[in-house]
Structure 1
């Protein structure tokens, strides 16, 4: 908070045998308490986080077990929360015979749509983060 450097910064490394860079290249310096890796030509590069692949099968299974859970797993937070909130009135409505006749078809439609969207969301998450899944 006071502005002092918490982590020691290393100066850029000069590589005499590297060919000169073509054209101006922006240099990105890590700010804050991030460790710094030095890339080619001595320019520091910030370290990125590691992202694991999302399985469409697990997303479908979670959506089957609890409406909206697969969407949360796949990174579709808003849709997952909406489906979880909609699930509670459907469960209360299903406690009566007439409510069960109304709630079950609605839940079934939402469950199938939620499973399809969760699987697609997991695939989109993997594609967006450059993860190739066979």
Structure 2
């Protein structure tokens, strides 16, 4: 006798575990499968610690809040790092790549006169965008930071 792999199916109405071959939920009485169709017998493998989501519900991962202050600090320490932290990957990589020519240019006297003001402007822009990016990340993921 073969046993089905994984947990039994769950009721689409109340989320209770169903016992095939029954077509009605023992808890709420909702019909789960058409009478002419047999209940599903093959289940995908499930991690033993995973909890299956009720039918129609999406289980997302856990995200932590992004602190705008940390984004500002990282932008001050290295151009583009705060943007990477805030989830603005493309902007962060571009700013990281722009930083290297500015450093090389700053090694000459004339280059320092040009590179330093450009770097200061980019740092200010990076700080503002990283701070806003961290706030947007929190808002998008439903995180309320006080």
TM-score class, shorter-chain normalisation, is 0.7 to 0.9
1:106 aligns with 2:118: yes
SS in 1 for 2:52: strand
Q: What CA deviation, in whole Å up to 9, does each residue of 1:55-89 have, x standing for no partner? A: 00000000000000000000000000000000000
Which structure is higher in strand share?
A: 1
- Check 1:38–1:75 CA distance in 2 against 1; reply closer, same or farther (3 A cut): closer
Corresponding position of 2:52: 37
1:59 aligns with 2:57: no
- Conserved 8 A contact 2:68-2:132: yes
- Check 1:105–1:9 CA distance in 2 against 1; reply closer, same or farther (3 A cut): same
Corresponding position of 2:105: 93
Distance in 1 of aligned mates of 2:130 and 2:44? 36
Gaps in structure 1 of 5+ consecutive residues: 1-6, 21-29
Gaps in structure 2 of 5+ consecutive residues: 11-16, 18-24, 31-42
Distance in 1 of aligned mates of 2:75 and 2:96? 10
RMSD of aligned Cα (Å): 2.3
Which structure is higher in helix share?
A: 1
Larger Rg: 2
Question: TM-score, with normalisation over the residues of structure 1?
Answer: 0.76
Q: How many residues align?
A: 115
Corresponding position of 2:6: 8
